[in-house]
């Protein structure tokens, strides 16, 4: 059967995946004058980037990825709307991570200590101080971590903002084309095999979420990720109660208000790995009730609020919980950016800076991603 795509099949860089990582990388690389083709098996923003809750969080991150989060919040998020020419709905009113037991506080203190040592401005607050910041929470909250510079943004608008600016820069986006594997020429990656023929690239950026694992394996690279499902729901419009992002020590739920007045609340039941059939992105019976119970426990004011819509998405959960952002020594020309483990959106603007430098300069100089290499994994036995 002849190939259906009849356009140009050669570019300086072929990007695999049209989520926020692929669109942002395409924007940065095309902005440097490189020709870029993005190959997306579905539609732009059809994966986790179009389904996430939009948290832009530095707090409670592993110190290996904290430099990305701090860089994004300090240097990119505040002016990103202006840069992309769209309102990304960025709100920076802080993040409270709540505790109801001494064990919760112990856990939160550990996170806070590690993050402070890595340069983040955050602290523990008492239950009373937490209620001063956000008066709607239950008296059962006895303490929290408080990061005043965390926030949230709109992931759909952000991803499409990057997409449109990349198009303006001349990048080509080809949707409905699935990458099946990579091929080397004279030792370096050059070919991208798809279900619609072959593309030739000077460099390849692989950011296909969970599916990066299968694509990388075609050139002998194993990225230890598994698929995990998570759900989000949106409430009816409510009076503007608070603008902080909320989470808990045990990650029972997270959420925040949106620009339109609803609340976005999300999380997992802990059972979805055993209940989801991994076919598409279905919601499952346990998650919404368990999230609702957790939310009402912390915020009794939500008891009579109506949920108007819910959805699920899946992400690439890495064996050690942090992303892989790296050039691959055994496959010159290949840059990998995946395994974001359910918290990639907030760091995506900074990831695109690191990816651009990895592609163009061979190393990420602006942001330290040395702890996120593809070859850091050690077998446990």
Residues forming contacts to ligand FAD in the complex (CB under 6 A) are: 16-22, 39-42, 46-49, 51-55, 178-179, 207-209, 211, 215, 230, 232, 266, 313-315, 338, 340, 342-346
Cβ nearer to ligand FAD, comparing 46 with 294: 46
Residue 91 is classified by DSSP as B
Cβ nearer to ligand FAD, comparing 282 with 300: 282
Q: In angstroms, give the least distance from the CB of 39 to ligand FAD.
A: 5
Cβ nearer to ligand FAD, comparing 327 with 352: 352
Between CA 301 and CA 318 the distance in angstroms is 36
Cβ nearer to ligand FAD, comparing 40 with 62: 40
Q: In angstroms, give the least distance from the CB of 19 to ligand FAD.
A: 2
Between CA 88 and CA 56 the distance in angstroms is 12
Cβ nearer to ligand FAD, comparing 55 with 81: 55
User: Of 14, 8, 5, 7, which Cα lies nearest the Cα of 201?
Assistant: 14
User: Of 44, 32, 34, which Cα lies nearest the Cα of 13?
Assistant: 34
Between CA 133 and CA 145 the distance in angstroms is 12
Q: In angstroms, give the least distance from the CB of 236 to ligand FAD.
A: 20
Between CA 355 and CA 71 the distance in angstroms is 14
Q: In angstroms, give the least distance from the CB of 342 to ligand FAD.
A: 5
Q: In angstroms, give the least distance from the CB of 46 to ligand FAD.
A: 5
Q: In angstroms, give the least distance from the CB of 107 to ligand FAD.
A: 20
Q: Checking DSSP bridges between strand 245-248 and strand 95-99, what pairing results, if any?
A: parallel
Q: Which long-range contacts (CB under 8 A, 24 or more apart) does 324-327 make?
A: 324/223, 324/372, 324/373, 324/374, 325/68, 325/351, 325/354, 325/355, 325/358, 325/364, 325/369, 325/372, 326/358, 326/369, 326/372, 326/373, 326/374, 326/375, 327/358, 327/362, 327/363
CB 192 within 8 A of CB 10: no
Q: In angstroms, give the least distance from the CB of 350 to ligand FAD.
A: 11
Between CA 309 and CA 167 the distance in angstroms is 32
Q: In angstroms, give the least distance from the CB of 346 to ligand FAD.
A: 4
Cβ nearer to ligand FAD, comparing 129 with 228: 228
Q: For 195, what's the count of Cα atoms within 13 Å in the CB-facing half-sphere?
A: 8
Cβ nearer to ligand FAD, comparing 161 with 344: 344
Cβ nearer to ligand FAD, comparing 105 with 350: 350
């Amino acid at each position: 059967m002849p190939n259906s795509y009849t356009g140009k099949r050669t570019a300086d860089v072929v990007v695999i995946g049209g989520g926020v990582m692929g669109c942002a990388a395409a924007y940065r690389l095309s902005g440097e004058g490189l020709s870029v083709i993005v190959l997306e098996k579905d539609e732009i923003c059809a994966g986790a980037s179009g389904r996430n809750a939009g948290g832009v969080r530095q707090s409670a991150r592993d110190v290996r990825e904290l430099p990305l989060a701090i860089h994004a919040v300090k240097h990119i998020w505040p002016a990103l709307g202006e840069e992309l020419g769209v309102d990304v709905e960025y709100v920076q009113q802080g993040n409270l991570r709540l505790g109801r037991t001494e064990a919760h506080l112990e856990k939160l203190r550990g996170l806070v200590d590690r993050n402070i040592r890595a340069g983040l401005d955050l602290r523990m607050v008492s239950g009373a101080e937490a209620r001063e910041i956000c008066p709607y929470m239950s008296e059962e909250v006895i303490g929290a971590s408080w990061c005043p510079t965390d926030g949230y943004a709109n992931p759909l608008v952000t991803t499409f903002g990057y997409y449109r600016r990349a198009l303006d820069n001349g990048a080509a986006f080809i949707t409905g084309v699935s990458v099946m594997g990579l091929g080397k020429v004279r030792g370096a990656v050059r070919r991208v095999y798809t279900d619609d023929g072959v593309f030739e690239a000077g460099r390849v950026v692989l950011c296909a979420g969970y599916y990066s694992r299968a694509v990388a394996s075609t050139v002998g690279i194993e990225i230890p990720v598994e698929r995990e499902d998570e759900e989000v729901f949106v409430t009816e419009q409510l009076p503007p109660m608070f603008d902080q992002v909320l989470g808990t020590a045990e990650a029972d739920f997270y959420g925040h208000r949106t620009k339109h007045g609803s609340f976005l609340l999300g999380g997992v039941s802990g059972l979805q790995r055993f209940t989801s059939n991994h076919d598409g992105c279905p919601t499952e019976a346990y998650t919404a009730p368990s999230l609702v119970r957790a939310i009402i426990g912390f915020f009794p004011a939500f008891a009579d609020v109506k949920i108007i819509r819910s959805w699920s998405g899946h992400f690439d959960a890495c064996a050690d919980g942090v992303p892989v952002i790296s050039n691959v020594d055994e496959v010159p020309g290949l840059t990998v950016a995946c395994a974001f483990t359910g918290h990639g959106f907030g760091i995506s603007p900074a990831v695109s800076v690191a990816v651009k430098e990895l592609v163009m300069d061979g190393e990420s100089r602006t942001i330290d991603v040395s702890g996120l290499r593809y070859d850091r994994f050690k077998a446990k036995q």
